[in-house]
């Protein structure tokens, strides 16, 4: 599988942002992204946030086109929200790069240009917290233990050579995003990142990693709990059992 010969521009990119109770963050993030390139597409996928995230995002979208909001019923999880956003982005023929990132500024918008540019040499670009030059700021012990455990387990059992399986700041070529098979994704949360990576690796798509600055959220509420942790572990074991 060959990567695109030229890097997409930000005007050819679409950033998909899954949200749940991110009213404090989403408008600021959308504004920061649009300052990078007015033509950058943004899709917010909200899981019926009780804090009014979707309303705030729609108000921002009226000021910051091309931006749109997808409202989903219930809390379907981060992974399935990203896949729903990707499906919508692929309906736009001008989109050559699809990016997923979190709404809480843990993923630095300033890294977006370099991330999309790296699609000139790869089909999937992962911003890794565990490469030389990366930095993690203000993480709790719980987060550090979860991340180290999940990544060690994934590296031991799965075949994709990644230092960071669980960071959701990633860019995909249009071809790679279109090759994802949502019907074969069994999970809904962060483990979807590993499921998608295994799918695309098996299809021959090329991966690259870049260092990243990861800043623990300072606004909003974290979705990480022991349910998410146990779900991730079970998901990795399930992937390995079926030949991931």
Distance CA 21, CA 49 (A): 5
Write the CATH number of the domain with boundaries 10-241: 3.90.550.10
- Of 87, 148, 97, 146, which Cα lies nearest the Cα of 125? 97
Question: Token digits for 5?
Answer: 């010969």
The domain ranges of the chain are 10-241
Q: In the chain, at which residue ranges do the beta strands (DSSP E only) sit?
A: 13-19, 41-46, 67-71, 97-100, 124-128, 135-137, 170-173, 207-211, 213-215
Report pLDDT for 112.
98
The answer for residues whose C-beta is within 8 angstroms of residue 107's C-beta and 6 or more apart is 101, 127, 167, 168, 169, 212, 214
What are the CA-CA distances from residue 6 to residues 3, 19, 113, 139, 169 (Å)?
Answer: 9, 31, 14, 36, 21
Report pLDDT for 138.
87
Map 12-39 to HEC letters.
HEEEEEEECCCHHHHHHHHHHHHHHCCC
Report pLDDT for 220.
46
In 10 A of CB 227, how many CB atoms? 10
In 10 A of CB 241, how many CB atoms? 9
Question: Token digits for 233?
Answer: 């572990």
Report pLDDT for 243.
67
Question: Token digits for 33?
Answer: 């992204």
- Prior bond to 66 cis, omega within 30? yes
Report pLDDT for 222.
52
Report pLDDT for 151.
87
Task: List per-residue pLDDT tens for the chain, 244 residues long.
Answer: 554 479 999 999 999 999 999 999 999 999 999 999 999 999 999 999 999 999 999 999 999 999 999 999 999 999 999 999 999 999 999 999 999 999 999 999 999 999 999 999 999 999 999 999 999 998 888 778 888 888 888 888 898 999 999 899 999 999 999 999 999 988 777 789 999 999 999 999 999 999 999 998 654 455 555 566 667 777 788 888 876 5
- Of 45, 71, 78, 90, which Cα lies nearest the Cα of 180? 90
* Residue pointed to by tokens 């679409």: 14
């Amino acid at each position: 599988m060959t990567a695109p010969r030229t890097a997409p521009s930000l005007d050819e990119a679409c950033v998909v942002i899954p949200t749940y109770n991110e009213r404090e963050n989403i408008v600021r993030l959308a504004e920061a992204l649009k300052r990078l390139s007015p033509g950058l597409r943004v899709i917010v996928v909200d899981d019926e946030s009780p804090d009014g995230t979707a309303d705030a995002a729609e108000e921002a979208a009226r000021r910051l086109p091309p931006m749109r909001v997808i409202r989903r019923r219930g809390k379907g999880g981060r992974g399935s929200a990203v896949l729903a956003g990707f499906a919508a982005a692929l309906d736009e023929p001008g989109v050559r790069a699809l990016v997923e990132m979190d709404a809480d500024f843990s993923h630095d918008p300033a890294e977006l240009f370099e991330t999309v540019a790296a699609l000139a040499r790869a089909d999937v670009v992962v911003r890794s917290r565990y490469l030389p030059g990366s930095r993690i700021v203000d993480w709790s012990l719980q987060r550090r233990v979860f991340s180290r455990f999940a990544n060690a387990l994934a590296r031991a059992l799965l075949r994709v050579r990644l230092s960071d399986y669980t960071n959701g700041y990633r860019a995909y070529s249009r071809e790679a995003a279109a090759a994802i098979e949502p019907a074969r994704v069994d999970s809904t949360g962060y483990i979807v990142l590993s499921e998608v990576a295994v799918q695309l690796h098996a299809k021959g798509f090329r991966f690259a990693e870049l260092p990243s600055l990861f800043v623990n959220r300072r606004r909003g509420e974290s979705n990480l709990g022991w349910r998410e942790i146990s779900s991730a572990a079970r998901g990795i074991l399930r992937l390995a059992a079926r030949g991931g």
